[in-house]
Amino acid sequence: MSFDPDFMKIRGILKDHHEYWSNAIPLIASENLTTPAVREAAISDLAHRYAEGWIGERVYPGNQYFDEIEEICLKLLKDLFDAPFVDARPISGVVANLTVYTAFTKANDKMMAISIPVGGHISSGPLKAKSGGFIGGTAGAVSRLNVDYIPFDRYGLNIDVDAAIKAIREKKPRLVQLGASVFLFPHPVKELAPVAHEIDAHMNYDAAHVAGLIAAKQFQDPLREGTDTMTMSTHKTFPGPQKGIVIASRDELAEIIKSAAFPGMTSNHHLMHVAGLAIAAAEFKKFGKPYSKQVIVNAKALGQALYERGFQVVCPEKGFTESHTILVDISNFQNTIGLGADVEQRLEKAQIVANRNLLPWDILEKRHYKNPGGIRIGTQEITRLGMKEQEMIRIAELMKAVIVDQKEPTEVAEAVAEFRADFQSIHYGFESTLKAYEYIEIA
């Protein structure tokens, strides 16, 4: 053991981070917890290795065991998603999308997706010129696609089907991408896939947020509804390591996706996370359904509990959500607490972690993404801590104390830690004595 001050300091901060999270209420919709078995894979020797290429045709030697692992990983994922082909080499959801853009489009092609203010993700955003250079979303800035928007019903929080059919026929994009980062209700894949195919467009469904719910058959079934490919992060509702995958609806698409993934979008493909993903998939096969059902039940229950306590949760008439996410319009607290950034900060001080988010109508009301009118909440991580409907009421009360009743956040933080004390282990995974946020000391 070294007593170098920086070495000691960094490890101390890491421990503090773990301590903070074990006493906090984690409500970020894009995060989740991995089980001890998945964490073990992450610190295995695979974290030091390269493979490159496909199983059995690697560019690097030394992969006899890893080949077996990736084979199992792909088999489990194909089973879970009921798909003929999966590529698990993209290192994140953005890279999975880039793999699809690379495989099925060329520069200057038109792509249609929902816009960021209504819940779209930056990876489907357009190119922007700025101070002598070019920035923007991945589709525009990296793949040089011309991004156009799928018409969206702002207040119904979903794609406007009739207007979208018309727009796709009129604009004739090369790629239509569905999916979102504020994803409350299933997208109209069944209605739009035939229209995309009629104009020879490729359809991709970005399942980054809802992958776990889809694998558990609790949201929608994009492959059967007509999408050509599906991309995802493996660490949002799907409780795996931070990675991405591309799924094809039919075998003919496999070769082009493989070439786009390597040598197109990856060299190293983070082998330790392929192993972790295999373990997460094996766990999901056993526990995925009850977990996903409870995630959605909890989201609806938290929506209702917050709504009853003075929070303007969007879409009450639609039961708030059919996924893990609820969106809360916090503009009624503008004169007491402030907007999204202030609410986020105040909650964070109380150890309740949820992020500010644009509401679909924020831009119309001249609100900006840095201080928007909403916060986004996800129930997947708290569900994995074993929380159920009763706990959703408790969380709503704690949030009410900080925001509606304007109690001192640091005082509420004590109540939060006390509440959290009973929820320290991970549910829906193979048994282990390691606590959910336990720091693993090896050195």
Ligand X SMILES: *Cc1c(COP(=O)(O)O)cnc(C)c1O
Binding site for ligand X (CB under 6 A): 30, 92-94, 97, 121, 123, 179-181, 206, 208-209, 233, 244
Nearer CB in complex with ligand X: 41/98: 98
Least separation in angstroms between residue 304's CB and ligand X is 25
Cβ partners under 8 Å of residue 82, min gap 6: 223
Least separation in angstroms between residue 97's CB and ligand X is 6
Nearer CB in complex with ligand X: 214/305: 214
Least separation in angstroms between residue 384's CB and ligand X is 18
Nearer CB in complex with ligand X: 179/288: 179
Nearer CB in complex with ligand X: 222/409: 222
- Which residue has tokens 């955003």? 125
Nearer CB in complex with ligand X: 208/416: 208
Cα 75 → chain centroid: 22
Of 21, 28, 25, the C-alpha closest to 402 is 25
**The two structure tokens encoding residue 236:** 């949002």
On the 0-12 / 13-18 / 19+ scale of CB atoms within 10 A, 10 is exposed
Alpha helix stretches (DSSP H) within 199-270? 211-215, 222-225, 254-259
CA-to-CA distance for 421 and 248, rounded, in angstroms? 43
Beta bridge partners of 135: 128
Nearer CB in complex with ligand X: 23/124: 124
Nearer CB in complex with ligand X: 151/241: 241
CA-to-CA distance for 300 and 292, rounded, in angstroms? 13
Least separation in angstroms between residue 214's CB and ligand X is 13
Beta bridge partners of 246: 87, 231
Count of alpha carbons within 13 Å of 205, Cβ hemisphere only?
A: 27
Least separation in angstroms between residue 233's CB and ligand X is 3
Least separation in angstroms between residue 288's CB and ligand X is 19
The residue at minimum Cβ distance from ligand X is 93
Least separation in angstroms between residue 30's CB and ligand X is 5
Nearer CB in complex with ligand X: 346/376: 376
Beta bridge partners of 178: 205
Least separation in angstroms between residue 309's CB and ligand X is 28
CA-to-CA distance for 79 and 61, rounded, in angstroms? 29
Nearer CB in complex with ligand X: 181/331: 181
Q: What is the spatial order of strands in the sheet that 325-329 belongs to?
A: 312-313, 325-329, 374-378, 355-357
Nearer CB in complex with ligand X: 247/399: 247
Least separation in angstroms between residue 208's CB and ligand X is 3
Run of H or E including 246 = strand 244-248
State whether the Cα torsion 380-26-273-95 is positive or negative: positive
CA-to-CA distance for 73 and 430, rounded, in angstroms? 17
Least separation in angstroms between residue 104's CB and ligand X is 16
Give the Å distances, CA to CA, from 249 to 45, 203, 205: 33, 11, 11
DSSP-derived secondary structure letter, 195: H
Cβ partners under 8 Å of residue 287, min gap 6: 427, 428, 429
- Which residue has tokens 């500010």? 356
CA-to-CA distance for 357 and 353, rounded, in angstroms? 13
